[in-house]
Structure 1
Amino acid sequence: MNIAMVVAKYDETGSSPYLTNELADALTVRGHHVTVLYVDWEAEAEPKVKYREGQTLHVDRTMPRGKGLVAMARKWSLAPLKYLSFGQALSKRYDLAIYYSPLFVAYPLIALNRLKARRKLAVYWDFFPYHQVELGMIPRGPIEKGLHAAELHLLRQMDVIGLMSPKNRESFRRVFGWKDDSRLRLLPIWGGSERLPLREPDAQKYCVFGGQLAPGRNIEALVRAAEFLPADIELRIYGRGPLQPALEALIRERGLKNVRLMGQVSREQYQREIAGAWLGLIITDPNAKTDSFPSKVIDYFRVALPVLAITEEGSDFGSFVQETAQGGRKLHSDDPQQIAAAIAEMVATPQRSEWGRSGHAYYYAHMTADRIAEQVEEMAQAGLESAQ
């Protein structure tokens, strides 16, 4: 098939691949040609066209971010127009176009039908604009309602919408008032197919959390829980973001010697260091109105790290970890003492190694990019055959 992929995140060097890279590569390995239309929202990439076997990459960038509501509105309105600069790519016809949430970032291509494709697939992870509203990136009120209406219109142009889990599908139906289940498919989040080195846990007992340090992710609850951990268990937090000063202040205020903010490190270093951890931590906002499926579970499973999933009551992610993948335990609480007790219990139990092995096996059986590429291929082929 001739496939177009529209992205706002892509590593053009290939040294620190995003999920978009991994799916594009997996589809290429399966014999398809993938044309990637990449607009860099961080305004760092240089406009270019790059070629490699089985892939064509078109790159452009947005204007600098700016500050304030007006600057944000200008960027969200104008940045998607950059996709129209890819005239060479838009002059062709494709068997399949793959979009990622939010669809609004590519609204000119979809609303104006500028990207010609026989089938359109939306890989839908974050519900726009609700996810952004919950993180404080978009204000509530008329702007939220207008963006919701626009996103729903774009979703209706899709032939298939891939959602991460059954609860995620329920949230999608509720949030968008969606009635046409024939277009909804389960499409798990994915990661690389190559095997990473495994090793025994370090002598120093430490648990890890990796991700963007941003408000609305309940990371503060992990830091508060460290106060109640046994003295020999350390919490290491990887990543950077606007929440970092508040976390540093909380650590100083509580006098926590067992919490380390590791900052942003290379993907290789991160994978190497979490492989020696005793436990991988995942925590979500207990007040979130839409179900989530945190992607950091991929990194943990790939290095056979057992997982404690601390999630909202209505989420099925904890059940996925504990029952489906059998890669750890779930906890529905943001109480620091309960979190600390669960961490201490999991670190102490011999079952920890078994959880790690189970999560690792599940990942390579069901969640690698090549497995997902196969599913995407089947979705596209089924639609193309029925249209003939």
Structure 2
Amino acid sequence: MDVLYLTLSNPELHSTGIYADLLNALVERGHKLTIVYADGEAEKTFLTEEKGVRILTVKVGRQFGVSFFQKGKNLLLLEPKMKRAVKKYFRKEKFNLVLYATPPITFGKVVKYCKKQFGSLNYLMLKDIFPQNAVDIGLIKERSLIHKIFSKKEKELYRASTFIGCMSKANAEYIQKHHPEISKKKIEIFPNTMKVPPYIEKEALHIQTEKLGVPKGAVVFVFGGNMGKPQALEFLINGVRTMEGYKKAYFLFVGKGSEEGWVKENIKRRTNAAFIPFLPPREYQCLMEECHVGIISLDARFTIPNYPSRTLAYMSMAMPILATIDRTTDLWGLIEAEAGCGLCSVTGDLTSFEKNVRYLAENKDVRIQMGARGRQYLEENFHVSRSIAILESHFPKKRK
């Protein structure tokens, strides 16, 4: 296949993650890959090549580190810039597959152009259901002008997509229920996957955690990744505060995002927790290897079924999961029933949160068993080869 991948994020093919792993796997399968990357920091639009992969960096407005209003404005301006860039650099070429994910939802006109110009199959990897997620947590008012604009963009993107790959069954059911105009034939399950690295059993090291002042013998619960409004960090910090007298558990918050300043400010007064800013991948990995339980947190107000990709990262490290989530997500079924790799409670329920923390902190054998089950489930269900097989199934004659 000749694949055109549209993205807001730096592809960073040398790194790991659900997107980098997928792109590298496509190349390893012998498919030709071209990436169009919308860069809010770029001074100009330019084309480069990295290990046989062409990367067109498009100068656009900033998407990160700006106000919500500015981000929305830049998202709307993003679409014509991306379309012009694709038209200028690739209009004489042919692509079998155009691949893209949400966010953003403002690629509708771009992928519509691609389908007309290249005769491509347009595949949407639905990772974010916007603008409803923003409505759920109060960032956008329902039926406001901005909501109507982005709802129109959402429908436009769905129409322009040949297939919509949903992360889970609940995701697919949500789209079918709220967008009945979409044919069921174009909706399928396309889960988050990764290139599963060989498992290396953890050594009992405490180099990083000792530097942070983690008490010896404490079980380390780690929240790693994006710190934004959807992660319900206020509840987590409140949970940390209520457990300050419980010495068997220690909490680490590692990452960056719109709420990192608030987290840092509220963590510094706690004796059972620490905040660590964004770390380079290798340092982050070393720190994670010294932690015992991974935390997943979602705002209780969500009516859309989220499926955080950090779940896979914890599974990969055979780390049990402590989830405080909404009632809509089907993470409940994954974590407690299908994989049996952790414990869940509803965000806002401090009693259940504390109960789950204590249980995991005081039962080492259970933690080890849950971690092992999560790792096995990952290997059997979320290997990147599954994503490649789904994409290639739409091109039976192109299969290698």
When the two structures are superposed, what TM-score results if normalisation uses the length of structure 2? Answer: 0.86
Confirm whether residue 176 of structure 1 aligns to residue 179 of structure 2: yes
| 1:64-103 deviations in Å (ceiling 9; x for gaps) | 4696676445412222222222323332111111121145
- Would the alpha carbon gap of residues 69 and 326 (structure 1) be closer, same or farther in structure 2, given more than 3 Å must change? closer
8 Å contact from structure 2 (residues 297, 347) kept in 1: no
Q: Which residue of 1 aligns with 2:361?
A: 347
Q: Secondary structure at the match of 1:227?
A: helix
1:298 to 312, 318, 322: 312
The 1:45/1:222 distance shift into structure 2, 3 A limit, reads farther
1:100 match:
101
Q: Give the 3 Å change call, closer, same or farther, for CA 60–333 of structure 1 in structure 2.
A: closer
Task: Report the AA paired with residue 304 of structure 1.
Answer: A
More moved, 123-132 vs 58-67: 58-67
For structure 2, the 5+ residue unaligned runs are: 207-216
Greater shift after overlay, 327-336 or 182-191?
Answer: 327-336
Does the 8 Å contact 2:196/2:316 carry over to 1? no
Paired with 2:221 and 2:261, the residues of 1 have a C-alpha distance of 21
Q: What corresponds to 1:366 in structure 2?
A: 381
Matches within 5 A, 1:26-175: 26-40=25-39, 42-44=40-42, 47-64=45-62, 71-83=70-82, 84-86=84-86, 87-102=88-103, 104-113=105-114, 116-134=118-136, 138-140=140-142, 141-175=144-178
Distance 1:217 1:295 in 2: 13
Distance 1:242 1:179, change over 3 A: closer
Partner amino acid, structure 1, of 2:177: R
Q: 1:192 is matched with which residue?
A: 195
| SS of residue matched to 2:230 | coil
- Say which of 217, 238, 262 aligns to 1:246: 262
**What secondary structure is seen at the aligned counterpart in 1 of 2:374?**
helix
CA distance in 2, matches of 1:115, 1:279: 49
Q: 1:62 to 1:260 in 2, by over 3 A?
A: same
Q: 1:50 to 1:18 in 2, by over 3 A?
A: farther
1:225-236 matches, cutoff 5 A: 225-229=239-243, 230-236=246-252
The change in CA–CA distance for 1:276 and 1:68 in structure 2 (over 3 A counts) is closer
How many residues end up aligned between the 2 structures?
380
Say yes or no: does 1:219 pair with 2:233.
yes
Q: 1:128 to 1:115 in 2, by over 3 A?
A: farther
Residue in 2 aligned with 1:9? 9
- The structure-2 alpha-carbon separation of the partners of 1:245 and 1:104, relative to structure 1 and needing over 3 Å to count, comes to closer
CA contact (8 A) 2:108 2:156 kept: no
1:287, distance to aligned residue in structure 2 (A): 0.7
C-alpha deviations, 1:145-177, integer Å up to 9, x for none? 222122112211212110011111122223334
Aligned to 2:209: none
Of 241-250 and 123-132, the range deviating more from structure 2: 241-250
Identity over the aligned pairs, expressed in percent?
Answer: 18
CA 1:222–1:69 in structure 2 vs 1: closer, same or farther (change >3 Å)? closer
SS across alignment from 1:301: helix
CA distance in 2, matches of 1:70, 1:319: 36
Deviation (angstroms), 1:3: 1.3
SS in 2 for 1:34: strand
1:47–1:277 distance in 2 versus 1, CA, 3 Å: same
Q: Structure 2: how far apart are the matches of 1:370 and 1:344?
A: 37
Distance in 2 separating the partners of 1:26 and 1:35: 14
C-alpha separation in 2, matches of 1:223 and 1:235: 9
- Counterpart AA for 1:128: F
C-alpha distance after superposition, 1:306-363 (max 9, x if no partner): 1122221222112111221222222234222321220110122221101111111221
Unaligned runs of 5+ in 1: none
CA contact (8 A) 1:119 1:383 kept: no
Is contact 2:218–2:247 with CA below 8 Å preserved after alignment?
A: no
The answer to whether the Cα contact below 8 Å between 2:47 and 2:56 also exists between their aligned partners in 1 is yes
1:272-351 mapped onto 2 (5 Å cutoff): 272-349=286-363, 350-351=365-366
> How far apart, CA to CA, are the structure 2 residues paired with 1:45 and 1:360?
43
The separation in 1 between residues aligned to 2:152 and 2:395, in whole angstroms, is 30
Q: In structure 2, what residue type is equivalent to 1:81?
A: P
What is the CA-CA distance between 1:196 and the residue it aligns to? 5.5
Query: Is the deviation greater in 192-201 or in 272-281?
Result: 192-201
Distance (whole Å) between structure 2 residues aligned to residue 22 and residue 47 of structure 1: 25
Relative to structure 1, the CA distance from residue 178 to residue 364 in structure 2 (aligned partners, 3 Å threshold; closer, same or farther) is farther
| Contact 2:255–2:276 under 8 Å retained in 1 | yes
Deviations 1:118-143 (A, max 9, x none): 31111001012222444555454122
Q: Secondary structure at the match of 2:49?
A: strand
Aligned partners of 1:233, 1:106: CA distance in 2, in Å? 44
